[in-house]
Structure 1
């Protein structure tokens, strides 16, 4: 349990949790971090001291790598000042990407918790206050130290590299298909049920604005023409492939050419489960593509794979370093072949 001396910083980025009505009948980010904190029932009774930082007021869809780099710097400064944990409130559209970015960039003992809301404050049953209270309790708890960045939503605690938004409207949208949540809040207390391995990036990496990482999704009948237009326009590419790592035969040649020039990472569009290494042997299978130099993302979701590849390219990592980093993050082993009996 947090002590009466626990201090948590709440950093507001905007998103649905901070939205109010606009003249045209919609909603847009307008509430400050201080206003969000003031609207949480029971927060004052926890004994946790709250500091606020009004960082951005934008929709989650409008966040940039520059915003996240500045956010990481802000969190480092807050932790250096001695806060016991940090809560980031933002739009749910990109929570899974923000959380993984922070998990890679911050190697801190203090918990960093990202949360938000699916129902804006103008609606009955708005979930923002409950999520913010749970996030503050999680950030203040000694049991969540050294877990890296986590997402807290609907009283569940999720690891940054696992969590995904799975539904457009439900308040229980966040899930971790590979491994489940790290824990839950029970009667307001964080209970950690399992742990996972983190692989933060080395300190001092700059997120360069000139690094471009593309993401393409395999679809039935695609002739692959768009892949040829990427040559010379991206520094790296993530392929969200069919199933266990398969693409149409028409994609083989353009991917082969791209992989000779830039790192190309092979992930699965399914949303859970790993890219395989040696089960299928047809042209465009995972074996074929890995033999052509594509990098295996393993269990890493395509959106996470893009964040990791962007970080590695910002650090000027070579192909071997990139392959090893994805082997660690995706829980696979570079170059391994595991024939089926």
Structure 2
């Protein structure tokens, strides 16, 4: 008996075409909506076009809308898995947002394309077929939110876009893919050790993200206070270090009750309070800066935003990032 899959389209290159002048633009009618016959050989579909947006137009509020659409649809229908087509630029952020704000046993699988529908070597339909296969697989249950592209399975927590144009752009630095999709198998070689869930119904709190660089001045960090941000994430140097010139601004943020979370701008390794010199991670840790283990800056920003907006009770930010 075929499984039932909720297929949600949100736009992105996977639903675009190349125009005569060489620009890649959205289609008025999503070409993926014409692929139902191929997909229905794998699963019975409930197909919804939620948005038709380039992924740079996706915001956390759109991610919340998507999460609510999934939950509301599942209340009315019995479904075995969910597939979401999405632009690749912010796909990893939407995947991680859904990882933190859903607690479903069934797989939620995101996929996209690096080549539009009428380009030579278009990869969209191929990736979509694989995503539906994974969402229909019992092996994919209880694995968290997944990203499926280019024959690989990745965890939403670790995956990131690593190339501007290659079809193998999505990688999980340091950890590797969870598994592979072959012509006959959905093969998992590892699984996430833990999952987190936060109840969120609104996103009123806002969080800024700053990339640390050599010679950085403090004025940008002061702007987070002036603009009434509720949290700040810093992509620090190396194991989690910053130029001394921004230390007074970091201290001021903490004094204003604004949590400061630190990750490394390196995509391998984790940020730790190791160095004790001025601006070193140990000094920052002693000041009250919170170290996020193994997250990128963009994902740490989403996690802090979700945590600050949780419905039940205020979070302990330090414990939340352990």
TM-score interval w.r.t. the shorter chain? over 0.9
Unaligned runs of 5+ in 2: none
SS of structure 2 residue aligned to 1:181: coil
Decide whether the 8 Å contact of 2:18 with 2:119 is kept in 1. no
Could you list the per-position Cα deviations for residues 116-163 of structure 1 after superposition, in whole angstroms to 9, with x for gaps in the alignment?
A: 000111210001011101100000000001112111010111111100
How many residues align structurally? 318
TM-score w.r.t. length of structure 2: 0.94
CA contact (8 A) 1:65 1:207 kept: no
Q: What CA distance in whole angstroms lies between the structure 2 residues aligned with 1:248 and 1:172?
A: 35
Match 1:245 to one of 240, 244, 247: 240
Tell me, what secondary structure is at the counterpart of 1:70? helix
Instruction: Supply the RMSD in Å over aligned alpha carbons.
Output: 1.8
Aligned to 2:318, which of 323, 326, 333?
323
Q: How does 1:43-54 map to 2 (within 5 A)?
A: 43-46=39-42, 48-54=43-49
Asked whether the 8 Å contact 1:12–1:32 carries over to 2, the reply is no
- Of 276, 287, 291 in structure 2, the residue corresponding to residue 292 of structure 1 is 287
SS of the aligned residue for 1:231 comes to helix
Query: Equivalent of 2:177, from 161, 164, 181?
Result: 181
Q: Does 1:280 align with 2:275?
A: yes
CA distance in 1, matches of 2:138, 2:41: 19
Pick from 7, 20, 31 the counterpart of residue 4 of structure 2.
7
Write out aligned runs for 1:1-341 (5 A).
Answer: 4-22=1-19, 25-30=22-27, 35-39=31-35, 42-46=38-42, 48-80=43-75, 81-203=77-199, 205-208=200-203, 210-233=204-227, 234-261=229-256, 262-277=258-273, 279-315=274-310, 318=314, 321-327=316-322
Query: Aligned partners of 2:94, 2:133: CA distance in 1, in Å?
Result: 20
Structure 1: runs of 5+ lacking an equivalent: 328-341
Inter-CA distance 168–116: structure 2 relative to 1 (3 Å threshold):
same
State the distance in 2 between where 1:299 and 1:188 align: 33
In the TM superposition, residue 5 of structure 1 has moved relative to its aligned partner by: 2.4
Output the CA distance in 2 between the equivalents of 1:215 and 1:67: 19
Please state how far the C-alpha of 1:226 moved relative to its aligned partner: 1.6
Alpha-carbon distance in structure 2 between the residues aligned to 1:38 and 1:218:
46
Q: TM-score, structure 1 length as denominator?
A: 0.88
Give the conservation status (yes or no) of the 8 Å contact 1:121–1:128: yes
